[in-house]
Structure 1
Amino acid sequence: MRGTVVAAVVILLGAAVFVFGQFRPFGGESIDRSQPAMLKSVRDLSQYHAAAGEFQVVLDIEDDVKWVPAALAGERTLFVAAGSVNAFVDFGTLADDGLVVSPDGKTVELRVPKPQLDKPNLHHDRSYVFSQERGLINDLQALAGPPDQQKFYVAAEGKLAEAAKQSELLKRAEDNTRVMLTGMLQALGFQVKVVGD
C-alpha cells in the first residue's frame, strides 16, 4: 500500500512538473533591459578584400591522464569547426612607386601589393561538438557546469589559418586585385603595365 502511495505521489509530481514546465499557466515574458550599443572608436581602412575562402575542419582531441584507465579519467572530443578567411590587399602600404604615370600621361606602371590573410572568422552557428567520450571522473566534473569549449575554438582557428595558407586564396586575391586596378585605370583612359616586385 505504501509503495502504491509513493508511486502515485511520484507520478503526480512528474505530471505537475510537466504541466507547469510546458504550459506555464501563469504566463511569462522575456524582457531585454540591455543598454544600446555604443560606438567606441572609428578607424580608417585602406583594405581591399579581394577573396574569401570557406573552410571546415574536424578536430580529434584526446586528453589522457597518465597511468589512469580511460574509463576513469580522460576525454576524447570530435569537434566540427566551420569558418571563413578573407584575403585582402592593404593599399595603405602601396609604395610611392606602386603607381607610376608615364611622362606623356598615357601609361601607368602598376605594382600590386602582396595580399595578406585575415584572422579566421569562426561560424559559431556551424561549429559544434560532434561526439565526446569521457571517463567517469570527467563525467562527474561535467555535472558541475558546462565544459569549456574555448580550447577547441582556438585550435580550430589555427587549423583554418594553416589551411588558408596552403590554399590558392592568396593567389586568387592577387589576381582579383590586379584585375580590379587594371580595369579601373583603363576606364580612366590609361594603358596599364603590371610589373612584378
Structure 2
Amino acid sequence: MQRRLRKARGEEVADDLDDYGYDDYDDRPRSLGGGPPPRRVARGGGGGGCSQMSMVLAITVLALLIAFVFLVNSTLGGLGQLFGGGLPSMREIIVTPTPQIITGAAVVQRVTELSRLETSSYTIQTVIEVQQSQGNPIFDFFAGDALLLIAKGTVIAGVDMSTITSDDVSVGPDGRTLTLRIPPAQVFSTSLDNEATRVYNRSRGVFAPENRDLETLARQQAEREILQAACEDGVLTKATEQAQQALVQFLGLLEGIEVRVEPSSPDLTTCP
C-alpha cells in the first residue's frame, strides 16, 4: 500500500523489495534504517529436548534393572547358605523317576538281614516252692529241705527271617505287587531277671543232707512255669501279628509297591 502511495506522489520506489517477502498488501513496518526487514527463521519443534529425556529415562530403567538382579542374586545366595549348599537347580527339581525292579532274590536278601525278628516280649512274676522230701512227714521235719523262690522272668518270641527262601516270595506280573510268606513264630528265649529273683524262705532240717542244687532246680522250674504262662496267654499269636505289621512297614519303604504278608501257623513245639 505504501509503495503505491509513493509511486502516486512521483517518488522512486525500488522494485527489489519483493525479494524480502513483502507483497503489495504487506503493511508491516520496515526497519528504521530503511534496510531490508529481518528474515523469518524457522524454529524446530523441540526434537533435541525429547531425545535427551528419552536417553535419561533409558539409563534410569537400566540402572533399576541391574539393582533388581543384584538383589535377587543376593537373596537366593543367602537362602542357599541357609539351607546348606545352595538351592537346587531346575534339573534337580524336575527329575524323571527311575522305575524300580523288584525281584524275589532282592526281597530275600533284604529280609534275611533282619535275622531273628523279635516281635513279642512277656514279663511274668511267679512264686516257686521246691523241697527235698524223705517220704515221711516225721523224717521231713528232721531231714527235709524246702525252698520258696520269688522269680521274675521274660519270654521273647518272634520269627526267624533267616530261614526265608525265594519260594516264600512272589512278585506280581506287573512288578508292583509283592507277597511274602513268613516262617512260623517261635519262642526265642526264656530268662530270669537275677536282680528281681530271690529266695524268699528256706527250711532245712537238722539232719538234712546238703543240697546245693535246690535253688538251681527252683530256678529251672520258674522258667518252665513262666514260659507256660506266656504260651497260654497267646505269645506266639501276638508275635505272628506283630511280625506281619513290622514287615509290611519295612517292605513298604519300596515306593509304589503293594506288600502282602501271609502268616504261618505258630511253632507250638517251642511251648511246653
TM-score bin (small chain): 0.5 to 0.7
Give unpaired runs (5+ residues) of structure 2: 1-112, 265-272
Matched, 1:173 2:243: no
Matched, 1:113 2:189: no
Amino acid at match of 2:167: D
Shift of 1:58: 0.7
Q: 1:84 aligns with which of 144, 154, 171?
A: 154
Give unpaired runs (5+ residues) of structure 1: 1-43
Going by fraction, where is helix more abundant, 1 or 2? 2
Q: Distance in 2 between matches of 1:114 and 1:47?
A: 12
The C-alpha deviation readout for 1:139-186, integer Å capped at 9, x for no partner, is xx56xx977521112222222222222222111111111011112222
SS at match of 2:260: strand
Amino acid at match of 1:119: S
Matched, 1:94 2:164: yes
TM-score, scaled relative to structure 1: 0.67
Matched, 1:192 2:262: no
Provide the aligned C-alpha RMSD in A: 2.3
Q: Distance in 1 between matches of 2:263 and 2:242?
A: 15
SS at match of 1:151: helix
SS at match of 1:137: coil
Going by fraction, where is strand more abundant, 1 or 2? 1
SS at match of 1:72: helix
Q: Distance in 2 between matches of 1:91 and 1:179?
A: 14
Matched, 1:52 2:121: yes
Tell me what 1:131 maps to.
Answer: 201
Tell me what 2:132 maps to.
Answer: 63
How many residue pairs end up in the alignment? Answer: 150
Q: Which protein has greater RCO, CA pairs closer than 8 Å, 6+ apart?
A: 1
The C-alpha deviation readout for 1:59-85, integer Å capped at 9, x for no partner, is 122221134433211022211111111
Identity %: 27
Q: Distance in 1 between matches of 2:153 and 2:263?
A: 32
TM-score, scaled relative to structure 2: 0.50
1:131–1:162 CA distance, 2 compared to 1 (3 A): same
